[in-house]
A and B are shown apart, each in its own frame.
Chain A
């Protein structure tokens, strides 16, 4: 089991009132899983994904990754897991503006190895088949551009490739097909499905109706609670 999440809460205070963005969530992910979380805006999907990716700290509950409880790990240990074992695709595409797209894509490996970012040429990436993924997603010709030159959809696809650079055990993608047209959205989901088939665990939060059919398990997030599909009054399914 890659992820074992139990009794997870994340509480925020808004205008003096506490509310649970994530409430009593139980979740499991195994190698090769393709899990999809749907839910309306503000339901807590992004917060949940950030907690599972070790980016955010839960108010209560446990997140156990590959047998390691995040609560018992140091910042360096969690950072190493985030870098090497978790491929996180944030909802908003963020890039370092003064590095090329390729340098941005290879940034996780540079952080892991402590090497100069520019030292990684495209030729160095063959071991993780980055070139084919760039080609699959239709952005191989853009890798030497600066991020500002790319459209939102192109950046989104680049951020997906970036999440794959260190061959993570799990991909956690927050709205990976936002900014993408239907055809490119399908390509992204196909790629994620391929990854799941090759043993990588995939967890996706999406509004994209095409994404639902890729999930081995589909969950609905509603007011902070994660419910198996069919148990919500959310009309997405």
Chain B
């Protein structure tokens, strides 16, 4: 493509701004849907994958009355104040199907002057924990000493790198990678530090539930070939006031809406793809008819058939490129402005992809959408290149 070609292509684009911009805007819509849909889809997949890998446990046991269902466990990490019956952990550890069982304890801080913010505090037992410590090790390899805490990705940490609970400062040892649910707003501590926080609360006159020494949940890793239903039956036979969720129960409720959302996104993408492609082909076909004399003139003046093809493909490329960049610009502003809002309002784990992944999404969209115009008008370009200049001129003349 030489400067004459570029000159002709740009002039042809500008000569009919309504047509050109109209087509570009269709591509812009397609680019927007692709970008938002692609990033949304990727964010949901990442959210589910991360949650699945972070859950760690095959089975989770909660107290009845903790007002949880499978959605809130995964999405909000909101467990209320309720505690498991005494002896339940020991009983579960004694079952044949159980490889490891570890307790967790939940507290909330207060959003008052004593505390920096109202957050969930998740306490774990370092000696048996197989869920929280692997997350922590991803960002902090040392042993967590008493009095230090690990915070979720959305917890704001001041310059001092401490968080205050009940007027006591706790140094932050590490900040976790995002998980995509309410646990991103939680603080993780070992049982010793949890006891310290309870003590601080007590000195401030804050009294937790009288049964607050109990466990808030028990996370279970099963032995290979174990039977979840049998395990549930055995636990239910010995204890009332429990709820038992398997990993399958937890995720089936999330995967379905995530899949539906992804299907909807791709249907919308396909719809705009078809509309944009059809509009480009029709528009270029009509425009080619109108400009037959001009193409004939270019042939007479020495343009090769290949050059005519380049002119048509180049104009389609320009239409696509302008649309792509307009669409990416506006949809980027939309997505990155509202990503937090989207994450909060879509009831599915949502993690914005890494910069490299986002760059890859952009690269794929730019490549794909730059190609769409030239690909769909390739037949039209071939027809133009085969134009019989002499006949074309005479058709119009007579």
Contacts and interface: CB of A to CB of B under 8 A. Distances in A.
Contacts of A119: 3
A112 B305 contact: no
B157 to A, nearest CB: 57
Contact of A92 (B5, B15, B299, B397): B397
Contact of B297 (A94, A98, A116): A94
B302 A108 contact: yes
A99 B390 contact: no
Given A92-B397, A116-B3, A97 B302 contact: no
23 contacts: A50-B390, A55-B390, A75-B305, A76-B304, A79-B299, A79-B302, A79-B307, A80-B302, A82-B299, A90-B297, A92-B397, A94-B297, A95-B297, A96-B8, A96-B11, A96-B294, A98-B11, A98-B15, A108-B302, A110-B4, A114-B5, A116-B6, A162-B301
Nearest to B294: A96
Contacts of B304: 75-76, 79
Contacts of B293: 92, 94
Given A94-B297, A96-B297, A117 B302 contact: no
Contact of A56 (B3, B390, B396): B390
Interface of A: 46-47, 50, 53, 55-56, 75-76, 79-80, 82-84, 88, 90-92, 94-99, 107-108, 110-119, 162
Interface of B: 2-8, 11-12, 14-15, 293-294, 296-307, 388-390, 393-394, 396-397
A58 B17 CA distance: 41
Given A111-B4, A114-B3, A117-B7, A83 B301 contact: yes
A112 B390 CA distance: 21
Given A55-B389, A116-B4, A117-B7, A82 B301 contact: yes
Contacts of A80: 302
Contacts of B6: 116
B302 A110 contact: no
Contact of B4 (A76, A79, A117): A117
Contact of B7 (A50, A76, A90, A110): A110
A164 to B, nearest CB: 12
Contacts of B307: 79, 111
B3 A94 contact: no
A90 B301 contact: no
Nearest to B5: A114
Nearest to A96: B294
Nearest to B304: A79
Nearest to A83: B302
Given A94-B293, A94-B296, A116-B7, A111 B397 contact: no
A60 B247 CA distance: 81
B171 to A, nearest CB: 65
A96 B394 CA distance: 17
Nearest to B3: A116
Nearest to B299: A55
B4 A84 contact: no
B4 A115 contact: yes
A80 B389 CA distance: 16
Contacts of A79: 299, 302-304, 307
Contact of B302 (A94, A111, A118): A111
A82 B397 CA distance: 22
A57 to B, nearest CB: 9
Contact of A112 (B302, B306, B388): B302
Contacts of B388: 56
